[in-house]
Homo-oligomer: A and B are copies of this chain.
Amino acid sequence: MQQRLPVIRSFGPIRSLTPVAKPSKENSPITEHLAYLLAQANREINRQLETRLSKEGVPVEQWRILKVLSDGNGHSMGELADAVLLNHPTLTKMIDRMVSDALVYRVQDPKDRRKVLMFVSDHGKALSRRLNSLAVSQEEHIVESYGDKSTNELKRLLESLIGTAN
């Protein structure tokens, strides 16, 4: 006669009393918030880029401005402000400085005289090329330590986040 095996009534603690379906987030550390991780990563990468560009004595925002204007087309202030992630008065004042440095110049838009079209000077173009090579070398450095796959995947996810956020 086959021996009765003991009935197993439980495999462990009663799970319904230790809720597992609700990770709750309420008390999660700040380092788990997307907003915080983005701020931290941005800060770090921006610092690195800033360090590179300091070789030319130029802030990151001016690199962005020069890069956008380097397509040779005129860009209005509003358009430019959006593109380089600055609000209007800040951009106006930064452009004032860049005009003083003869990197860019203003032209009133003949089609709409409220607008100002910004253009990059030859001097600005030359600087832009040097800055761009510094920026590219930074990105290559990131790819080296962080990996090509991760970098591309991260870019893809960021683009998609930006897309859904608007």
Chain A residues close to B by CB (< 8 Å): 25-26, 29-30, 32-46, 48-49, 60, 64, 67-68, 83, 85, 132-133, 135-136, 138-139, 142, 145-146, 150-151, 153-155, 157-162, 164-166
Bound CA–CA A40/B29 (angstroms) = 24
A85-B153 in contact given A25-B136, A26-B132, A165-B48 (Cβ < 8 Å): no
Per DSSP, chain A at the interface is helix
Contact A36 B64 (CB under 8 A): yes
Q: Which residues from B are CB-within-8-Å of A43? A: 85
Nearest CB on B from A21, distance (A): 14
25 inter-chain pairs at a CB distance below 8 angstroms, sorted by A residue, are A25-B139, A30-B68, A32-B155, A34-B139, A35-B45, A35-B139, A36-B64, A37-B155, A38-B38, A38-B41, A40-B85, A41-B158, A41-B161, A41-B162, A41-B165, A44-B166, A48-B165, A142-B161, A145-B164, A146-B160, A146-B165, A150-B157, A154-B154, A154-B157, A154-B158
Contact A136 B26 (CB under 8 A): yes
Q: Which residues from B are CB-within-8-Å of A37? A: 155, 158-159, 162
Of the listed residues A36, A46, A138, A139, the one surrounded by the most CB atoms of chain B closer than 10 A to its CB is A36
